[in-house]
Amino acid sequence: MIRESNFDFDSPQDECGVFGIYAADGEIDVIKETYTALYALQHRGQESAGIAVNDGGDIKCVKNLGSVSDVFTAENLEDLPKGKIAVGHVCYSPEHRLTPMAAQPLIMRYIKGSLALAQNGALTNRAQLHKSLEQGGAMFQANTNAELIAYVIASLRLSYGSIEETVVNAMKELEGAYSIVLTSPSMLIGARDPNGFRPLCIGKKKNSYMIASESCALDAVGAEFIRDVEPGEVVVVDQNGIRSFKDNRTGKTSMCLFEYVYVARPDSVIDGVSVHMARQEAGRLLAREHPVEADMVCGVPDSGLSAALGYSIESGIPYGTALIKNKYIGRTFAQKRISDREEILKVKLNVLRAGVEGKRIIIIDDSIIHGATCSYIVRLLRAAGAKEVHLRISSPPFLNPCYYGIDISDRSALVSNKMSAEELRASIGADSLGYLSIEGLRSIAKEAKVGLCDACFSGDYPAAVPTEIFEDRFARKLEKR
Ligand code: SF4
């Protein structure tokens, strides 16, 4: 799968990356660190980026549509105050409906001052929350999960003695997936939903603490990884150091397995498991489950590369490079009226003819959503003279939508619901096609300190799904009978 922004490609879209920093007196430039961390998290979303800086309760923000390099300039970063708390966000928005207003961090001014909040995930009780808050007089502008969460916090704030107590209790109102960082006038707060769907971890550099979606962001700023935020945990950083509230832990956790397969960066470690090693294990298992004679194993960059290495190690077939990805295509390219999917793919991905000509190639990708990208890749390899093309997928067929923050939205659009693996193989023109089994997938991160979600593959949802969509799913089930 090719990671894209702003295009309706054959890929589920990951939603957001968050970062927060509390710098002990003046020792660290929070703007520089947040900017660097957002670059490291750019793979989690390229449609908007923002940094909010808290200067003693006065919060200023730079945010807009676009990638980190589009949004931030030396000038606009220079205009931010030199505070000691900052919150950053990068975002993908499904259906390309993001407006500048919806870019995060979200800044809210309410009875207790200002807060800036950045969020990753999707609330499953969003419709109910939205309705009840609106009936209570709330007026939404951004219409995002982040805005709802901020409203819930603001509406409860006077009922509790402190912001941290308020956040702990606000979590009882929220259902679904959310990893958030927020700054109140004097604190940095991080929170992860009780299922722990989206990752969140804590780092430290000198005496300053950071909270990030992935450990690769901590590495980028030279921070030491301390630990993951536990599912259901609220972490508070202020002048007294770091504190933790674990009132919302339930023991029933379900971190997203697809983070390991595709979303996260391979150099991140999530809940005790290296993303690269999980992908490599997926490749090894794939080689055992779907062996085939070939001359070379290659991965679709970037997320297929680790799995291809694993397949190669397990099978003994040499690892090689078949496809070269142009990493510099982005939002502005799509804005130049180049809307044809294949035209974009031609720029995005090219074949290394000298590497594949006359060879039997095993090509490993992480997943298939609609089937268009893998069809293009198979044609590309054949046109370059590959003798055989064997497609291997390091996850099972996508059969179900995700309600927890990855944009795999419509069951009817998923190609695996429309055709069998053999029909799909024939339609994309591969010599063979093999998916990793669900049992195999479940074992790639078996060392994880948390339970795992695989609902988009298995249909086994670990938490409530949105009511209206659940009714829709029920209607479809009835139709099938
Ligand atoms: S349904 Fe799939 S994509 Fe969504 S959280 Fe579960 S494993 Fe991840």
**Selecting from 3.40.50.300, 3.40.640.10, 3.60.20.10, 1.10.287.3510, what CATH number does the domain 13-253 have?**
3.60.20.10
How many angstroms separate the CA atoms of 30 and 438, rounded? 43
Residue nearest to atom 4 of ligand 1 (CA): 402
Q: Is the pLDDT of residue 93 over 80?
A: no
How many angstroms separate the CA atoms of 233 and 451, rounded? 15
Q: How many CB atoms within 10 Å of residue 297?
A: 30
What stretch of H or E contains 73? Answer: none
What is the maximum alpha-carbon separation in the chain? 71
How many angstroms separate the CA atoms of 117 and 215, rounded? 20
Q: Is 217 helix (H, G, I), strand (E, B) or coil?
A: helix
Measured in Å, residue 398 CA sits from the centre of ligand 1 at 10
User: pLDDT (tens digit, 9 = 90+) per residue, 321-339?
Assistant: 999 998 777 655 555 555 5
Measured in Å, residue 14 CA sits from the centre of ligand 1 at 10
**Selecting from 3.40.980.10, 3.50.50.60, 3.40.1370.10, 3.40.50.2020, what CATH number does the domain 274-480 have?**
3.40.50.2020
User: pLDDT (tens digit, 9 = 90+) per residue, 151-172?
Assistant: 999 999 999 999 999 999 999 9
Measured in Å, residue 257 CA sits from the centre of ligand 1 at 6
Measured in Å, residue 126 CA sits from the centre of ligand 1 at 18
Q: Bin 472: left if φ > 0, else alpha if -120 < ψ < 50, else beta.
A: alpha
How many angstroms separate the CA atoms of 298 and 313, rounded? 12
**pLDDT averaged over the chain?**
90
Residue nearest to atom 2 of ligand 1 (CA): 456
User: pLDDT (tens digit, 9 = 90+) per residue, 251-302?
Assistant: 899 999 999 999 999 999 999 999 999 999 999 999 999 999 999 999 999 9
Give the chain's radius of gyration (CA, Å).
22
Q: Which residues line ligand 1 (CB under 6 A)?
A: 197, 256-258, 402, 404, 406, 453-456
> Where are the domains positioned within the chain?
13-253, 274-480
Q: Name the β-bridge partners of 120.
A: 179
- φ/ψ (deg, to 5) at 121: 130, -170
User: pLDDT (tens digit, 9 = 90+) per residue, 235-262?
Assistant: 999 999 999 999 999 989 999 999 999 9
Indicate which atom in ligand 1 lies nearest the CA of residue 457: 2
Indicate which atom in ligand 1 lies nearest the CA of residue 197: 5
Query: What is the per-residue pLDDT for 337?
Result: 53
Measured in Å, residue 466 CA sits from the centre of ligand 1 at 14
Indicate which atom in ligand 1 lies nearest the CA of residue 400: 1
Q: Is 222 helix (H, G, I), strand (E, B) or coil?
A: coil
Indicate which atom in ligand 1 lies nearest the CA of residue 408: 3
Which string of DSSP letters, residue by residue, matches 345-406? HHHHEEE-HHHHTT-EEEEEES--SSSHHHHHHHHHHHHTT-SEEEEEESSPPP-S---SSE
Query: What is the per-residue pLDDT for 6?
Result: 38
Q: Is 220 helix (H, G, I), strand (E, B) or coil?
A: helix
How many angstroms separate the CA atoms of 264 and 374, rounded? 21
pTM tops 0.85, yes or no? yes
If one residue of 120, 442, 454, 473 were mutated to test the ligand 1 pocket, choosing by the most ligand atoms within 8 A of its CB, it would be 454
- φ/ψ (deg, to 5) at 165: -65, -40
16 is a catalytic site residue? yes
How many angstroms separate the CA atoms of 330 and 307, rounded? 25
Q: Out of 16, 61, 298, 402, pick the active-site residue.
A: 16
